[in-house]
Amino acid sequence: MQETPLRLEGINDTLYGGFGERLGSLLLDSLIVMPVAFLTLYLNSMDKNMFFYTLIPNLVFQIGYHIYLPTRYGATPGKLTMGIQILRIDGKEIGWKEAFMRHLVILVLTVFSSALMVYCILNADDATYQGLSWMKQSQYLMTFAPVLFLVYTWVANIWTWGELIVLLTNPRKRALHDYMAGTVIVKKVYVKRIQDKMAGL
């Protein structure tokens, strides 16, 4: 398969979104989703059973934000604001498959942690839970499956560091999830030039 070019004639700038652009987009996306996260924490702190009511909406929100929006607009709002866009490695626009594969590992980790929380909530004492602050509530729930939460933390950390190392050590600035999905992140200003080059125009 033909891959996106490393350089374009007459352009000295890198074509790809590197660590700085990706970090900026991650921070912007975090700011956008933060109100939803805080609302969820607030609702869940009111009653442990509220978790069952917020679980599905949160998963739907995550899928919408990280899979639907990139499929529809080529990137999340944070990436678009930072001037970067996701393309397939062959230069074409991404579809559902690519967007899903890019987010697959995070989605699996989210489902795993949600299943853990369900188990812990079902075993937690209502009165004890209600008597704790929201931070202590989370710590209390984790006591019901400490080994599994430790495994989750280790896997999440290994994935995060693996993403960073791979991103910093290849010329197209691809992270692990880009290799899984067959994608690259390019600067929006060069998208048409890249696609024209690959089409032989």
Residues 132-147 have a mean pLDDT of 92
What's residue 201's pLDDT? 57
Give residue 178's pLDDT.
98
If one counts every other C-beta atom within 10 angstroms of the C-beta of residue 140, the result is 17
Beta-bridge partner residues of 187: 84
How many other C-beta atoms are found inside a 10 Å radius of the C-beta of residue 31?
Answer: 11
Rounded Cα gap, residues 107 and 136, in angstroms: 26
Structure-token pair, residue 29: 């996306």
pLDDT range class, residue 135, cuts 50, 70, 90: confident
Please indicate, yes or no, whether the overall pTM of this predicted structure exceeds 0.85.
yes
pLDDT over threshold 70, residue 136: yes
pLDDT tens-digit series, residues 143-171: 999 999 999 999 999 999 999 999 999 99
pLDDT over threshold 90, residue 182:
yes
Q: For 24-47, how does the pLDDT look when each residue is reduced to its tens digit (9 = 90+)?
A: 999 999 999 999 999 998 999 888
Question: What pLDDT does 128 receive?
Answer: 93
Q: What is the mean pLDDT of residues 6-25?
A: 92
DSSP per position, the chain: -----S--TT--S-SB--HHHHHHHHHHHHHHHHHHHHHHHHHHHH-TTHHHHHHHHHHHHHHIIIIIHHHHHSS-HHHHHTTEEEEETTSSBP-HHHHHHHHHHHHHHHHHHHHHHHHHHHHS-HHHHHTS-HHHHHHHHHTTSHHHHHHHHHHHHHHHHHHHHHHHTSTT---HHHHHHTEEEEEGGGHHHHHHHHTT-
Quick one: pLDDT band at residue 141, thresholds 50, 70, 90?
very high
For residue 109, what pLDDT is reported?
97
Q: pLDDT tens-digit profile of 42-101?
A: 999 888 899 999 999 999 999 999 999 999 999 999 999 999 999 999 999 999 999 999
